[in-house]
């Protein structure tokens, strides 16, 4: 699914002396009013792509070391009534707010209120995926409680980590165009994952809906697909459901959890076999790499899926 791109900008072609003003003006129009400072000798080198996701906006932002700040004066002069959910996918950061500061590492997720002042500093090259959720949407679909202080999410428990990882996978799929086929269901999955993460701290706690559980299961499978011990039971335990419920979660896509694992392994193996860079690996080594117990079993299921043997799937190299 390719989502509509609202804007895509970079400071690369802007005169270094004008980059800060350019970046502040762009964000004022496209995302949120803020001030920016750069401590790099090169000046601010940053890119931002803003994508429409139904009622939400998704921003893919990367840059070198810099600081952004939303001061009390900026909050008054350039009001913004949203909840931001920022997932740091590269680098590290320090988030200052009126109650203290939060240190973020790669993979961390922070949720905060744009009506409240903050400073976000990045001491090294960074990338973040930011979801802009209008306050009324957040209150109706995620949690009605007030976000009085920023919330660092993803570290609290294994389940919370799985939810944050699934959210990252869904957002990354939106950016690359490899997300789901349905914009409405993708937005619903994003909001439900945010709700599942935030609601326990804001006075509510419901289990994630099936589309979110499916996203969590797929993400867990993708991260462990080469592990021969991966099984539906292990996936169910990781996302906090029963094996029977996991089967119901996969019903809408028409395959069982075990079949989905098998098909993902076969697709990965086929890609490796087709890559000349892995020509040095034997068929047995490819099978073992992707979690198959034996070459014979791998060959049998590969031929059943693709209509040819693993050896026939390799390119002819002279």
> Mean pLDDT throughout 218-236?
94
Contact 128, 61 (CB under 8 A): yes
Residue 70 lies inside a defined structural domain of this protein: yes
Q: What is the CATH number of the domain that holds 27?
A: 2.60.120.10
Residue 151 lies inside a defined structural domain of this protein: yes
Residue 237 lies inside a defined structural domain of this protein: no
Residue 18 lies inside a defined structural domain of this protein: yes
Structure confidence by residue, pLDDT tens digits, 158-186: 788 888 999 999 999 888 877 656 778 88
Measured CA to CA in angstroms, residue 77 lies from 26, 71, 196 at distances of: 16, 10, 33
Contact 279, 314 (CB under 8 A): yes
**Helix or strand or coil: residue 40?**
coil
Residue bearing the bigger pLDDT, 155 or 138: 138
Scanning the structure block, which residue is given the tokens 């028409």?
254
pLDDT at 131 over 70: yes
Q: Could you tell me the end-to-end alpha-carbon distance of the chain, in angstroms, rounded to an integer?
A: 38
Quick one: pLDDT at residue 181? Answer: 60
Question: What are the phi and psi torsion angles at 178 (to 5°)?
Answer: -110, 20
Spatial separation of the C-alpha atoms in residues 208 and 193, rounded to whole Å: 7
Structure confidence by residue, pLDDT tens digits, 68-116: 999 999 999 999 999 999 999 999 999 999 999 999 999 999 999 999 9
Range of the domain at 22: 5-157
Residue 144 lies inside a defined structural domain of this protein: yes
pTM (global) more than 0.95: no
Q: Is the dihedral of CA 68, 26, 127, 198 positive or negative?
A: positive
Contact 142, 187 (CB under 8 A): no
What single DSSP character describes residue 292? -
User: Helices 158-176 & 210-224, crossing angle to 10 degrees?
Assistant: 90
pLDDT at 26 over 80: yes
Q: What percent of the chain has pLDDT over 70?
A: 96
Whole-number average pLDDT of the chain: 91
Residue 43 lies inside a defined structural domain of this protein: yes
Quick one: pLDDT at residue 156? Answer: 74
Tokens of 151: 């919330």
Residue 82 lies inside a defined structural domain of this protein: yes
Q: How many domains does the chain have?
A: 1
DSSP-assigned states of every residue in 168-201: HHHHHHHHHT-S-S-HHHHHHHHHHHHHHHHGGG
Residue 257 lies inside a defined structural domain of this protein: no
Scanning the structure block, which residue is given the tokens 């701290």?
201
> Mean pLDDT throughout 233-249?
93
């Amino acid at each position: 699914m390719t989502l509509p791109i609202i804007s895509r900008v970079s400071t690369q072609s802007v005169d270094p002396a004008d980059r800060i003003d350019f970046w502040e003006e762009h964000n004022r129009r496209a995302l949120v009013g803020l001030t920016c400072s750069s401590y790099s000798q090169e000046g601010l080198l940053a890119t931002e792509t803003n994508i429409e996701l139904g009622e939400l906006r998704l921003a893919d932002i990367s840059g070198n070391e810099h600081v952004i700040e939303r001061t009390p004066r900026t909050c008054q002069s350039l009001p913004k009534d949203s909840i931001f959910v920022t997932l740091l996918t590269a680098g590290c950061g320090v988030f200052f707010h009126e109650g203290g500061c939060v240190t973020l590492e790669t993979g961390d997720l922070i949720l905060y209120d744009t009506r409240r002042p903050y400073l976000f500093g990045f001491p090294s090259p960074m990338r973040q995926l930011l979801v802009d959720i209008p306050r009324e949407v957040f209150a109706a679909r995620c949690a009605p409680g007030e976000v009085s202080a920023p919330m660092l999410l993803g570290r609290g428990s294994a389940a919370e980590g799985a939810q944050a990882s699934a959210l990252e996978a869904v957002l990354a799929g939106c950016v690359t165009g490899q997300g789901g086929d349905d914009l409405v269901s993708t937005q619903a999955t994003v909001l439900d994952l945010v709700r599942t993460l935030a609601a326990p701290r804001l006075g509510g706690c419901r289990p994630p809906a099936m589309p979110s559980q499916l996203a969590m299961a797929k993400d867990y499978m993708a991260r462990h697909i080469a592990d021969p011990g991966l099984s539906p039971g292990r996936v169910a335990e990781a996302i906090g459901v029963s094996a029977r419920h996991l089967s119901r979660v996969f019903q809408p896509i028409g395959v069982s959890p075990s079949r989905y694992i098998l098909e993902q392994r076969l697709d990965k193996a086929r890609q490796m076999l087709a890559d000349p860079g892995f020509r040095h690996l034997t068929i047995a080594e490819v099978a073992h790499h992707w979690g198959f117990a034996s070459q014979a079993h791998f060959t049998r299921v590969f031929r059943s899926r693709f209509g040819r043997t693993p050896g026939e799937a390799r390119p002819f190299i002279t």
